[in-house]
Each structure stands twice: as C-alpha cells, then as structure tokens.
C-alpha cells in the first residue's frame, strides 16, 4: 500500500506539471491576444484549445539539427538539465494535506527548502552549457547574460526564503524554525488569514515585501519578461537556444513553463498558505475528501499566480540589461537584507511567551 501511495503521489505531482504546462502555453497566447486586441489561436480544436498538442506533434517531427563544431554531449544534454531540474524540485512541494497517514508530497524531506534551492541552482548549468556548446557567439553571449542574471537574483531569492524560515518558527515553547515545507504550510494554516507573516501582525509588512521580492526574482529566474535578457530577440537572435531545433528547442521552452509552475508552487507554499484556506480546509482533517479539497485549493492558488505571470509579461516593457542588474544588486539585495533585519528584531522583541 505504501508503494501504491508513492506512485499515486508521483502521478498527481507530474500530472499537475504536465497538465498545467500546455495550459500555461495556451493561456500565454490567449491572454496576450486579449491584451493586444487580437484573436489568438483559433484553428485547432474548439477555441484553439488543441494548439499546444499540434505544436508538440510538429516539434516531434522536426529534425534535430546539430551544427558543426559543437560538443554533442553538452549540446544535447543542456535541454535535459534545464528540464529535469524543476521536475525534481516539485517532488518536495506539499500539494495537499494528509490523507490518513500519507502526506500529499512525493518526498517529505526535512531539508525540503534547501533541496529546492539546490535544484534551482542546477538549471543555470543547462542554459550555460547549451549556449557554450552551440559554437555560436550569440548563444554564448545569451548564456553569459543568463548566468549573471540568475546568480544576481538567486541571492535575493535565497535571502527571501531565509526570511520564510525565520517566520516559520512553530508555536511550541522552543520556537524552533524549520526548512520542512510541510511544517511551514502547517504554521501558516494555524494562524489562518495571517499568511504573509508569522504569528503576529507585526510580521505582515515583512511578509508582503518578501512576497513581492520572491515573485519578482522568480520571474527573473524564469527569464520571463521584463527579465528575458538571455534570449532578447532584438540583440541576440534567440540567445542560448538559437542553434536548437525540434525537441531540443521544445524542451528549453517547456522547461520555462515547468519552472514557472515550480516557482508559483513555491510562492504559494511559502507565502500564501499552500493547500490551506480558512474555513475550507482543516489541518487536522485527514479524510479523503479533505485531501481532495486541499489539492483543489493548492491548484487554484497556482493558477492565480500563473495568470499574474502571464499578465505581467504582456503588460510591462522589457528592461535594459544594465537596469536588470542594477535592480538586482542595488535595490532588491539591500531591501532583502533590511527585511531580514526587521524580522529578526520582531522575533527578538515581540515573540510570543
């Protein structure tokens, strides 16, 4: 029965990723068309809903062209690294409450947050290797841009997650913090509507700032507009994936949406209560129906964050590269440090007895 639950949880987790991926692609096109006053895809299936399937079939039938003078192992391995990283990261996300004794989480790691930070840092290698192995100066420049941008925003990303660890101090007398994602969600569920902060309203401003920082850094990590400097068409043709075709290009593009889903799941887990919702979910109720409701709550929250992702992409103009780097180093990093200092003061002077 344990193995059955394990494979069932893997199926649900992968189902969320691989079902939301095509939905995000379709949503990206439809929402962009709506914002720009266009029709969008409308030829394949009702209202164009089968367009992602048509795209996948087309890309599968295309020849994978390997340019002369490239490192074939690294050239073909780059898309795999970028694609696998977010899938592994999603394994430690609690996508629902318990059903009986089984937690709705593929793997319940006590170091879940540290595991996700490690996995997210691996994705930059796939981008860098893909650009370097392409034997193309534009691809190399795109990969270097991506490396500098991701490293810059990973600092603020990590500091914001450290802020969540400080907020996740449990209500026991020892006030022990945790990097276990399931415990972080339970801590937020315990205090109901106060999801952005700790147990007191004094932590709410810090939590709101942390939410904005994490959301913005996640957009930069995923190379989404206005932070898509690594693949800026006006300057770098297509950036690090210029030389890729067929399924190599498809894996780079689909991995972007997988990373979006992982980032949205992480934002929901750390700042928006995860699978919990006041008056709708009960952390102590481990019945099958309560578990299904908690999955639905988590899924709904992810869809809202993904909608914001797409809307911001087609609303904000692209930044210049110097603006992107200046924003990361001169604004976000100092703000994250000040935010952590404020939370530390709150924890020392206003902690519960």
The tens digit of pLDDT for each residue in 165-191 reads 887 764 444 456 678 888 888 878 776
At 173 the pLDDT is 42
46: three-class secondary structure by DSSP = helix
Alpha-carbon distance 182 to 202, whole Å? 24
At 177 the pLDDT is 67
Task: State the pTM of this model.
Answer: 0.88
At 204 the pLDDT is 79
The whole domain housing 102 covers 2-349
Q: Which residues, at least 6 apart from 12, have a Cβ–Cβ distance to it below 8 Å?
A: 95, 96, 104, 295
The tens digit of pLDDT for each residue in 196-227 reads 765 567 777 888 898 999 999 888 888 777 87
At 36 the pLDDT is 86
Q: Per-residue pLDDT averaged across 87-113, rounded?
A: 84
The tens digit of pLDDT for each residue in 132-164 reads 888 888 788 878 887 888 888 888 988 898 888
At 333 the pLDDT is 92
- Which of these, 268, 261, 259, lies nearest to 96 by C-alpha position? 268
The band of 235, judged by pLDDT with boundaries at 50, 70 and 90, is low
At 337 the pLDDT is 92
What residues pair up with 102 in beta bridges, in sequence order?
99
As a whole-number percent, the residues of the chain with pLDDT over 70 amount to 89
Number of structural domains found in the chain: 1
Q: Which residues, at least 6 apart from 94, have a Cβ–Cβ distance to it below 8 Å?
A: 103, 104, 105, 108, 181, 182, 185, 269, 274, 275
Q: Per-residue pLDDT averaged across 285-294, rounded?
A: 87
Q: Is the peptide bond before 226 cis (omega within 30 degrees of 0)?
A: yes
Greatest mean pLDDT among 20-24, 82-86, 230-234, 262-266 lies in 262-266
Please report the DSSP string for 164-182 in residue order. Answer: HHHHT--SSTT------HH
CB neighbours of residue 274 within 10 Å? 28
At 282 the pLDDT is 81
Q: Is the pLDDT of residue 3 over 80?
A: no
105: three-class secondary structure by DSSP = coil
Q: What is the number of alpha carbons within 13 Å of residue 42 lying toward its C-beta?
A: 6
Of 259 and 353, more confident? 259
């Amino acid at each position: 029965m344990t193995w059955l639950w394990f494979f069932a949880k893997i199926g649900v987790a992968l189902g969320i990723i691989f079902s939301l991926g095509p939905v995000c692609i379709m949503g990206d096109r439809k929402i962009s068309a709506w914002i720009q006053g266009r029709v969008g895809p409308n030829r394949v299936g009702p209202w164009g809903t089968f367009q992602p399937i048509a795209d996948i079939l087309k890309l599968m039938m295309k020849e994978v062209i390997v340019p002369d003078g490239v490192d074939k192992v690294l050239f073909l391995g780059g898309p795999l690294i970028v694609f696998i990283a977010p899938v592994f990261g999603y394994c430690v996300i609690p996508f629902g409450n318990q059903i009986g004794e089984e937690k709705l989480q593929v793997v319940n790691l006590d170091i879940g947050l540290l595991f996700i930070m490690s996995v997210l840092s691996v994705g930059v290698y796939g981008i860098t290797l893909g650009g370097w192995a392409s034997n193309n100066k534009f691809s190399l420049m795109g990969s270097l841009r991506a490396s500098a941008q991701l490293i810059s925003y990973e600092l603020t990303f990590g500091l914001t997650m450290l802020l969540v660890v400080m907020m996740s101090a449990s209500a026991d007398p020892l006030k022990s913090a945790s990097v276990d994602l399931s415990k972080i969600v339970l801590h937020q569920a315990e205090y109901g509507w106060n999801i952005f902060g700790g147990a007191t309203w004094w932590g709410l401003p810090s939590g709101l700032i942390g939410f904005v920082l994490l959301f913005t850094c996640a957009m930069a990590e995923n190379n989404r507009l206005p932070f898509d400097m690594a693949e800026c068409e006006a300057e770098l043709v297509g950036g690090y994936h210029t030389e890729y075709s067929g399924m190599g290009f498809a894996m780079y593009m689909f991995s972007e949406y997988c990373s979006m889903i992982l980032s949205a799941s992480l934002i929901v887990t750390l700042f928006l209560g995860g699978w919990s919702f006041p008056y709708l979910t009960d952390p102590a109720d481990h019945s099958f129906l309560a578990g299904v409701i908690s999955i639905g709550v988590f899924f709904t929250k992810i869809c809202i964050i993904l909608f914001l992702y797409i809307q911001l992409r087609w609303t904000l103009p692209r930044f210049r590269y110097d603006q992107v780097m200046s924003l990361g180093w001169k604004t976000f990093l100092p703000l994250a440090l000040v935010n952590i200092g404020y939370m530390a003061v709150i924890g020392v002077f206003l902690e519960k007895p």
